[in-house]
Each structure stands twice: as C-alpha cells, then as structure tokens.
Structure 1
C-alpha cells in the first residue's frame, strides 16, 4: 500500500471534509461542518497559509495531512505545524503514516522549511511512538499554550 502524497486541490474538498469529520469524531474534537470547511477550503487554493495532502490514491485517499506555515527567528526562517494527520482506521499499523510524514518532511525541507512542529495528546502512546520514530523530539522546556480569540 503506497503512502504517496498528492497536494489536494479545491475539487478534493468533499473527500477531505469526510476524512476530517471522521478524524474529529474519533479524537473528540468538537467541530461543525462549517468550521471544518472554513479550516480546510482556504488551504486548497495554493495560498501561503498551508496545504492539505491526500495520502495514497487521490480518488480514494487512505488519509490526509494538513500543514500550516509560519516564521521562526529561533529556527532561522520558515517553520510549519503538522496540524492534522489521519489514516483510515482499517489500514492503520502498516507504516503509512510513517512513510507519509517522512515524505512530507523531505518535500518541505527541499522547499526551505527549517522546522516542523506538532501537538500530540500526552496520553496517546501510539502517536508519540510514531512521532519519535519520525525524529520529532519532545521539547521539555516548552509547553504549548493557546488563547481562543
């Protein structure tokens, strides 16, 4: 099974929204159809805010990745957040997420991105093992804090 990445385009919106809905339901993220579309649709037009990648065949994706871009003085330039990753439950455990994250990191490094960050549930040991295997490192000195606006 291939984890080949395909940059999602506006015509992929219905497929992606279905996957996002499944991911949010599974992980307990409280979202509405409107908020999911507002979060995904602007990323499909090739703008500078971020990108959505379909994992596997574009017609029947195995999952998706969302990456958003920022700037970091600490890291010396553009950085990004792996905002969401989802693999359909029936095909997990086959190395697809590992391969997709590796491909994404190589692609973004070639594009000049200096660092990638992510947030992981402190109780999700499986996700933490995956991210450790893909060379993400815990930054014990730092805590992600959020203020809703």
Structure 2
C-alpha cells in the first residue's frame, strides 16, 4: 500500500469505524460501513439512517481528485430514484449491488501533508452535501 493511501486510511479510521480498504488493478477502494444519512432516504420503502458507502481512488491520486461514490442499489429519496446515478463504472471489490452517484468536489488542492489541504476525509464528508440534495 502506498504511504499516502496508508496515511489517508488512518485519517479515515479516526473518524469512521471499520473502514475497509482493498486494492484492485492498481487502484484503491474504500468502504465506510456506516455512513449516516440525512432524513428522507429509503431502501425498499423503509427509512434508512445509515448505510455502507464505498468509493474508488485512482492510481494518480492525490494529483487528481476522486470522482463519484457508491451506495447500495435500491436507495431512494422520499420514494424517488436519485438523479445523476447509474451502474458503477467498475465493480467494487466489496459484496453487494451498488448505485454510483456522480459527484465531484470543487477546488481540489491536495498537499504533501495529509492533514492539510484536500484529503479523503474531506472527500467522504462531502458526500453529505450530495445526500442532502435528495433525489
């Protein structure tokens, strides 16, 4: 595991318990097992307060920002399918069926110091912005 990825994983683990990491084809995948959702999200008509989320970090990270995140397939907001979603561009190495949310962060500026500038913790926290938008 690259030093940067190891340091970023440590940062994520300080804020989210049970974060998983997997390497596949020179890329890094992360899975947050319990991501807290804003009100209104449902699976199968049942309200969900938290669920697993995963995301891909390409081999050129941190030079390029990550793009998109995955949530369990069937996720809906107040009964409506979320927009800007679809099948994952590549299947994650984690079990389950996944829905890919198109998402990017503005002004990505990673620095050599993982604790400063843009990092995966800020990236994961940015998912809340998208999730608060609803469908």
Normalising by the residue count of structure 2, what TM-score does the alignment of the two structures yield? 0.32
Which is strand-richer, 1 or 2? 2
Normalising by the residue count of structure 1, what TM-score does the alignment of the two structures yield? 0.30
Which is helix-richer, 1 or 2? 1
